[in-house]
Structure 1
Amino acid sequence: MTRSLLFLLLAWICLFASSCNQLIPGEDFDARTTDQTVRNLTFTNVKINRKPDASLLQPPRDPYLLGPGDILEIEIAEVSGTLARTFVMPDGMVYYNLAGGVKAEGLTQRQFADKLTQALKRDYTQPLVNVSLVEVRSRRYWILGRVFKPGLYPLRQPTTLIEAISGAGGLFTSGFSGFTEELADLSNSIVIRDGEILPVNFERLVQGGDTSQNIYLRHNDYIYLPSATSSTVLLLGAVAAPQAVGYKESLTLIDCIAQGRGPAPGAYTRQIVIVRGSLDQPQAAIVDLNAILTGKDTDVLLQPGDIVWVPKRPLGVLETTVKDVFRTAARTIASGEGSRVAGSDADPVISIPLSSPSP
């Protein structure tokens, strides 16, 4: 009996020692050890020429062409009771006096006055028609993001970028800690024209007073100054649901693409592009998503502000690819901001021109 109890005691001691050996970490255990299932990315610096062309710094010299919404004042000289204020209709026509509808869209004031004169000759002898432009409403620009008064503004006269920012109330600021802090991310602020990002450095313009960056605006220009406190990752390209993914600690590429419901059919997942940094000093990394999914490589960590782009075909020149990524990101942000400012989740009443013009 004593021998049996001794045997059971020895067995229990061996089992307990074995359990302790498995549950208690060894001397080389360190809770701060990096998770080996994910890794940080190695980026390549990408050089992009973003020097504004001299023509961007010149005020528009083209004659003003009338468009829908423009308010006109018209009078037949020396004929009482003919002074009237009207506007260019959405179809481009102006209806005045006995002339009926006269096409005004795309004409200068002088050209329109000549056409209106010809139309009035049916009812007046040698009419002398005066046309004055009272208010410009057909030319406009957008300025959205971290300014005090974002919205759509008429382009009534030659207007520079600094004048546009000032007209929108200036940059949105915060007075915490006893000083004024700008809340706009100037390094990633953009101007879009005809679907392209113009080479403007907002940091040099706003903080350094560099007038070589103070371009003149054109009709339908779009200015966007993003928040410096944004914490999202932009997922774009060939994914089922492109979107801004809210950043959380240790967000990985797999997590991000999963929130976009995975790659779209036909996506080229061997070369996922991740862009980090500013417009003037971007960095890019190429990741093989297939290798991660098959366990041949580890998942990668993302950071707030990253752009993840899933291509549809093998990549070409890296510089060209990064430009395409920035262009796609800018159009996506512009469309979303425009819809938000329009006050509806549906298509905005006034659309933002984000596509390049047809050749």
Structure 2
Amino acid sequence: MQSHLPRAARNYLEQLRRELGFLSDAERTEILAHTREQISRLPGKGRRKSELLRSLGDPAVVAAGFTRTEPTELKVSSGRQFLTRILAWPIFALSVLTAGLLVLGSHFVALVEPLSFGYVGGSMFGALAELELSLGSAVMFFAFIPALFSLLPLVVHGTPGLVLQIVGALATTAACVLGLASLGAFLIPLAVLLWAQAFTPLLMMRGSMARPGPAWLVCAAVALLASIGYTTYRGMQGFTGNVWLILAPAAALAVLALLLPLRRRWAHIALIATGLLVMAAGFIAALPGTFEAPLLWPWLAGAMSFAVGHLALAAGMWHERARNLLALL
């Protein structure tokens, strides 16, 4: 409390507070409390308080004697590790969920419709379908590739880590292409995330305050809207339930996709949560007791929304962290 202090003392403390602006709130508060205690112990003995305050020293000189104890620079290595960490764990979680679904869920839910992307004899899809059939159920175990490679960057750093990330992204992409006629399509969102995990830190570390520009966010919104539109159209083919059970969640995802360029954290979180809900709703719709609808289409719509929302949220978290750390400078 300063109300009982003389005006000269209050002015001195206010000036000192301004001079100590480079310190954290906790450090500044501690120094001002100590200074108030010193002022309260100054003897009067007929001398003016302003004269006594001069014995403490000029506020600018006093402030110059203190140094900040918090970090004053943003290390590139720590920034890259921060980005890798916030990207890796959600990708790993989605990878494990997808792998478990493909290995276990195929026994009691309708994952795909027969040759869901269409089969034309002699075409590329026809050749891929024949190759997939020759591999049999082993194709499902390709789903564990993203789960393995998503966490490697946490333990392998530098150039070797980047090489492993690219290898994981290439392997997942190959699994998508190999099984594009059916189960491999479930890995498309994971392939997108693994490529982003490899190159997002490189792009974001170009500048300490870097973040996706409007063009990136608009392109992401357009791509997500296209995937939502396509999966909605395919999901409605042969669906026996009320069509609004598909259109309503698709509309919600579309609205949240349109909000991506606004850089609102709540919109990114809502996109992630809605994507997960669409995936769960699609699983329920695929159960034998409901509509036995192919899970592929709601899964793709929800997982792609999860992927784009996660990348946007991670970029926003990095930008906020960089801004807070640079505020110390």
* Normalised-by-shorter TM-score class: under 0.3
TM-score with structure 1 length normalisation? 0.24
More helix by share: 2
What is the TM-score when the length of structure 2 is the normalising length? 0.25
Question: Which gives a bigger RCO, structure 1 or 2 (Cα 8 Å, sep 6+)?
Answer: 2
